[in-house]
Amino acid sequence: MKQSKLFTKTSKDFPKDEVSKNAQLLIKAGFINKEMAGVYAYLPLGLRVIEKIKLIVKDEMDKIGGQEIIMSSLQPKEVWESTGRWSDAVVDVWFKSSLKNGTEVGFGWSHEEPITKMMKRFLISYRDFPAYTYQFQTKLRNELRAKSGIMRGREFVMKDLYSYDVDEKRHLAFYDSVKVAYMNVFKRVGLGDITYITFAAGGAFTKYSHEFQTITEAGEDYIYINKEKGIAINEEVFDDTVLAELGVTKSEMTKVKSAEVGNIFNFGTAKCDDMNFFATDENGEQISIYLGSYGIGITRLMGVVAEHFADEKGMVWPESIAPFQVHLISLGKDEEAQKIYDDLTEKGIEVLWDDRDARAGEKFADSDLIGIPWRVVVSEKSMAAGGVEIKKRDLAESEIIKIEDIDKKIK
Ligand code: ATP
Ligand code: MG
């Protein structure tokens, strides 16, 4: 894409009330726009990152048998009443409204109940199991505070997966396969080394749930970790009992700040029982259904990556989710630049070409702020030296390579 055609521009400023680093950077670089506290629009550059994260998540979900659907944001009250979760005292983030005829509706902050009610239509006999459904959905939550930029939105994108099974062993095996798939996602976006599967509060059905916590100062949680043993415990459940269960001592654990990028729950059979959702076995007898619920905060993950890899000049996107792979900067030499652009694009490499009539310093500063992994400069000077100057965003050194070697260098 030609940067002269990109309607967004970088800016020096960000809204005064924006205290989080991820939102400051993303707003300045033109990836997002702040609509109000905790509510952001995703602009072309930001949307490209979101879509890439979604593709990685989709790939991992499809590999373990997930089938993608999309539920509605408007939800009927009755489906939540059946499990006692319509009450604001139980769920304190509800946005609610009503139809013209007075019928109350809720805006989806989660989809366990609506999806489960929908699945009831299709999952009847034991032969219909297991079933794994997932979606990417905009969740709406009336969060008390929204000071963490896109890491805590009142409107945000979540991937949520739900598993239904009548066989407990298979249900638990699937739960474990989600742990692996989730860690694959976090590795693929570059956060594998600092993301821990963390013992956390489980709710009514199991003692613990598992959170995926990424170590970052930008997070809102505290966890205790033991790096060598790969054990992590959320401070909310950090006590002698859990330490004994995991075979570690308090002194081996280090307290760190972290962000919850994912959370998985085993509901056992309780949720489906509550919703009067049963199947029949081979003799036609009624049997219970196990439910698992698995979430990844897509936009929160983007915020964590934006902050974690940033330096004093701007963002540094991992290649897997960068909005473009190459930032081509032409300083004069438009004909050569056009050739490079056409050639790389044809080879399937995504190029943002800064073809604007601007000073070199401005182009470099914008390039550092936007954070595309490879910077390729074509200028009088580079041509005289033998081609283009190529540099990785996170490295100081650059080198001159021949134009025909760019794609090899990148791959
Ligand atoms: P938190 O404790 O941070 O409020 P939660 O435990 O309420 O999150 P879940 O219901 O477990 O969140 O949602 C699944 C995932 O969605 C979370 O692990 C997180 O990554 C993401 N998420 C939750 N709330 C938000 C939010 N307000 N903005 C962005 N992402 C969110
Ligand atoms: Mg959670």
| Residue 203: pLDDT band with limits 50, 70, 90 | low
From 263, 302, 304, 307, mutation site for ligand 1 pocket: most ligand atoms within 8 A of C-beta: 263
Q: What is the pLDDT of residue 315?
A: 98
- Whole-prediction pTM value? 0.97
pLDDT at 206: 82
Distance 33 CA to ligand 1 centre (A): 21
Cross-strand partners of 106: 75, 96
Instruction: Report how far residue 56's alpha carbon sits from residue 188's, in angstroms, rounded to the nearest whole number.
Output: 8
Phi-psi region for residue 141, left (φ > 0), alpha (ψ -120 to 50) or beta? beta
CA 297 to ligand 1 center in whole angstroms: 6
CA distances from 348 to 67, 259, 343, 344, 391 (A): 28, 34, 9, 7, 20
pLDDT, mean of residues 382-397: 97
Determine the pLDDT at residue 205.
73
Q: What are the DSSP E strand ranges found in 99-230?
A: 104-107, 131-140, 155-165, 195-201, 208-215, 221-226
Using a 6 Å CB cutoff, which residues line ligand 1? 141, 143, 152-153, 156, 158, 260-263, 295, 297, 299-300
* Beta bridge pairs of residue 197: 212
Ligand approaching nearest to the C-alpha of 296: 1
Query: For a pocket test of ligand 1, which of 138, 144, 158, 212 has the largest count of ligand atoms closer than 8 A to its C-beta?
Result: 158
302 CA distance to ligand 2 centroid (A)? 17
Q: Report CA(411)–ligand 2 centroid distance (Å).
A: 37
* Structure confidence by residue, pLDDT tens digits, 297-329: 999 999 999 999 999 999 999 999 999 999 999
Tokens coding 323: 């909005």
Q: Which of 265, 77, 59, 255 is nearest to 162 (CA)?
A: 265
Q: If you average pLDDT over every residue of the chain, what do you get? A: 97
pLDDT of residue 227: 95
Calculate mean pLDDT across residues 190-197: 98
Closest residue to atom 24 of ligand 1, CA basis: 152
Which pLDDT band, with edges at 50, 70 and 90, does 207 fall under?
A: confident
Query: Which distant-in-sequence residues (6+ apart) come within 8 Å of 153 by Cβ?
Result: 38, 39, 40, 141, 143, 146, 299, 300
Closest atom of ligand 1 relative to the 109 alpha carbon: 10
DSSP codes joined into one string, 381-403: HHHHHTSEEEEETT-S-EEEE-G
Q: Does residue 287 have a pLDDT over 80?
A: yes
Q: Token digits for 293?
A: 């619920």
pLDDT of residue 291 exceeding 70: yes
pLDDT of residue 145: 94
Ligand 2 center–CA 262 separation, angstroms: 7
Ligand nearest to the CA of 219: 1
- Picking from 159, 148, 139, 49, the residue whose alpha carbon sits closest to that of residue 94 is 139
Place of tokens 């601007």: 358
Distance from residue 260's CA to the centre of ligand 1 (Å) = 7
Binning pLDDT at 50, 70 and 90, where does residue 14 land?
Answer: confident
Q: What is the pLDDT of residues 337-350, one digit of tens each?
A: 999 999 999 999 99
Closest residue to atom 29 of ligand 1, CA basis: 152
In whole angstroms, give the CA distance from residue 22 to residue 218. 9
> Which range is least confidently modeled, 84-88, 199-203, 251-255, 368-372?
199-203
pLDDT category at 208 given cuts 50, 70, 90 is: very high
Ligand 1 atom at minimum distance from 261 CA: 20
Residue 275: predicted pLDDT: 94
Closest ligand 1 atom to residue 301 Cα is 20
Please tell me the residue having the least CA distance from ligand 1 atom 31: 297
In the chain, count H helices and then E strands. Answer: 12, 21
Is residue 183 pLDDT above 90, yes or no? yes
Average pLDDT in the 256-264 region?
Answer: 98
Indicate left, alpha or beta for 136 from its phi (over 0: left) and psi (-120 to 50: alpha).
beta
Beta strand 104-107 pairing with 74-76: antiparallel
Q: Could you say which DSSP state residue 269 is in? A: T
Contact predicate 215/194, CB 8 Å: yes
Protein residue closest via CA to atom 6 of ligand 1: 263
Percent share of the chain, pLDDT over 70: 100
Predicted confidence (pLDDT) per residue in 58-67, tens digit: 999 999 999 9
- 71's tokens: 């539920």
Residue nearest to atom 8 of ligand 1 (CA): 260
CA 160 / ligand 1 centre spacing (Å): 11
Inter-residue contact 295 to 185 (CB < 8 Å): no
Work out the average pLDDT over 201-219: 90
Q: Which residue has the tokens 């540099």?
A: 391
Q: Are 195 and 165 in contact (CB under 8 A)?
A: no
Residue 204 has pLDDT above 70, yes or no: no
Ligand 2 center–CA 141 separation, angstroms = 13
Ligand 2 centroid, distance to 209 Cα (angstroms): 9
